[in-house]
Chain A
Amino acid sequence: MITQLMPAMVKVADKDVHSPEFATLYVNQHIDFKPGQFVMVWIPGVDEKPYTISHHSPERFGITVEAKGLFSRKAVSLGPGDKIGIRGPFGNGFNMGIGHKRVAVVAGGCGMAPLAPLVETFQTDKGPEVFLIQGARSKSFLLYPDRFAAKAEICTDDGSKGYKGFVTDILVQKIKDLSAISTPAFDMVYACGPEIMMAKVFDICEVHSIPCQVSLERYMRCGFGVCGACVCGHAVVCKDGPVFGSKMLRTMADFNTRALLKTGQPVPLNEYATWRCQ
């Protein structure tokens, strides 16, 4: 059984290769889960890192990994039969709200991973109308292009598919269009992607008085709010987050400005890392 205690060794049951960079690993086990939560994934002898649950059903779940460094390259090279250790799920998930009529979901790159189960939950639960805006560097970096019933607005940095430009351009346009019909344009905006993109989404929402929720990323060790590796201002990302709402974001000094390196040294966000979703 998968719990927050010792990692449970589980078999990779299935694998989807989305592109040379992206793969989803599936595990045939139940996990008590809310969209937005994450698990710690252990490859013995290599390392252990946090990954969002990107697929979820009563009998299985999946994580989607972008190959970029030592650990993630190893992870995407795994296949059916290989064993990984899983503990979790950790953190809070997205608050899906009550009585929302229309929401926007804004995904940048592999920021789509935590948002995908959210979109699916909305679609099965007689949930709100969902406007999905999905962006990526280029066409081959678009995650799960055929997964949802909801039609997505696509944008790519290089124009290889959809609108050439940023997801935030589309969000602003949509809010403008919809404001003519009803205010607020959206009852909630959900976003995940590079932090600079989420900061822009937050700013746009503030201007239009729309609440939003974004999912943050910091270096993590424990995953349950003890070691302090993941602090962002006065927030503990693994425990208070990784999903944060507008009210918290307003008070988080380090949001879109600072992050701690593995040593604990605070550095400007752009120095922190080549951000995984850029």
Chain B
Amino acid sequence: MQINFLGKNLHTPLVLASGVLGNNKAILERVWENGCGLPTMKSIGPAPREGHKNPTVIDLGNGLINAVGLPSPGYLNMEEEWQELSDRVFPITASIYGGSVEEFVQVAAFVSAKGPDFIELNISCPNSDQHGMVFGVNAQSSHDVVAAVKKVIHVPLIAKLTPAAPDIATIAKACEDAGADAICAINTAGPGMVIDIESRSPVLAFKKGGLSGPMIKPIAVRCVYDIFRSVSIPIIGLGGISTGKDAIEIIMAGATLVGIGTAVRYRGITVFDKVNKEISDWLAVHDTSMEEIRGAAHREAL
């Protein structure tokens, strides 16, 4: 199921979500070998960060709640990894975050020079007080950060959005207008909270956390549907996708590529091969293609 994405040939339409497993070259490669067309690195930040104390990730059965807290060596401390990645045979997206437009620009310029295939702006992480989501809930600040970063990088830019935005279609349009080459939707939903009633305390050390996995799929499908109607750049549909049928659903909402994160928990690293096969099987049975079904859910309305 080869697919062309922003001029790059990917061996499958599946993307590994940022923050899931992508901590070193060996794992990114293993995910790619297991059927992921485009692995995303863990988000890279402006300074070293340890993230939050544990518990940081809890399985609720129908999805996860997490407040890992954007751990990162910091963009200046990753020479060894870039060195190893330099002779890779697979494509990668580098995800970055910052606490201000200046920080985003600083990190983006540096990372762009290291030659990833794409750069994704995480303007949507709920798990830090200073970083991320503050940008992604406002059209003007989303526009500003995308426009500023676009000037200093030499690879296509993907803007990753949060479902917490009051009107995600407007944010997506602002990113497109500012020069974004693609949209990735969605980051985790919420934030939510779970309380242990015996100890009477929130389970996550950070108290609140982002929701992912099957329980947020309807939100992701709605967001991709809304975004598809407002932009003409491609969309990476992400959020609760676990099976081939889930993938078909979000493609019908308008996604070109399909991201997978939490499903690694429920179906293992081989989830990519499984979902690819399930997509192909479904397409074969229905005698159709990815291109034909992309945005199909809009047909009547269009």
Contact = CB atoms under 8 A, between A and B. Distances in A.
A266 B78 CA distance: 9
B188 to A, nearest CB: 12
A260 B48 CA distance: 13
B58 to A, nearest CB: 6
A7 B23 contact: no
Interface stretch (B68-76, B156-164, B290-298): B68-76
A228 B268 CA distance: 13
B204 to A, nearest CB: 10
Sort chain B's interface into a size bin: 35 or more
A78 to B, nearest CB: 13
A9 B68 contact: no
Nearest to A49: B54
A113 to B, nearest CB: 20
A44 B24 CA distance: 31
B4 interface: no
Interface string A239-278: 1000000000000011000001111111000000000000
A263 B72 contact: yes
A22 interface: no
Nearest to A260: B23
A162 interface: no
B140 to A, nearest CB: 32
A7 B196 contact: yes
B24 A226 contact: no
Contacts of A6: 58-60, 194, 196, 203
Given A6-B203, A44-B201, A234-B29, A264 B73 contact: yes
A222 B24 contact: no
A5 B48 contact: no
Interface string A25-58: 0000000000000001010110111000000000
Contact of B24 (A5, A87, A260): A260
Contacts of B72: 263-264
A227 B26 contact: no
B55 A266 contact: no
B73 to A, nearest CB: 4
A75 to B, nearest CB: 13
Nearest to A43: B199
A266 B81 contact: yes
Interface in B251-286: 261-262, 264-265, 268-269
Contact of B27 (A9, A223, A234): A234
A5 B154 CA distance: 43
B24 A224 contact: no
Interface centre among B24, B51, B78 (most CB of A within 10 A): B24
Contacts of B68: 221, 227
A261 B77 CA distance: 12
A42 B204 CA distance: 10
Interface residues of A, number: 38
B86 to A, nearest CB: 16
B19 interface: yes
B73 A9 contact: no
Contacts of B71: 229, 262-264
B55 A40 contact: yes
A49 B261 CA distance: 23
A212 interface: no
The winner among A4, A87, A254, A264 for most chain B CB atoms within 10 A is A264
Contacts of A226: 20-21, 57, 64, 261-262, 264-265
A223 to B, nearest CB: 8
A99 B231 CA distance: 64
Contacts of B20: 226-228
B56 interface: yes
A83 interface: yes
Most buried by A among B71, B72, B81, B198: B71
Contact of B74 (A9, A263, A266): A263
B27 A222 contact: no
A85 B196 contact: yes
A236 B265 CA distance: 12
B290 to A, nearest CB: 27
A225 interface: yes
Interface in A203-241: 221-229, 231, 233-234, 236, 239
Contacts of A261: 50, 73
Contact of A224 (B49, B59, B203): B59
22 contacts: A4-B59, A5-B60, A5-B61, A6-B59, A6-B203, A7-B58, A7-B196, A9-B196, A47-B54, A48-B53, A85-B203, A221-B51, A222-B56, A226-B57, A226-B261, A226-B264, A227-B66, A236-B21, A253-B26, A262-B71, A263-B49, A265-B48
Interface of A: 4-7, 9, 40, 42, 44-45, 47-49, 83, 85, 87, 221-229, 231, 233-234, 236, 239, 253-254, 260-266
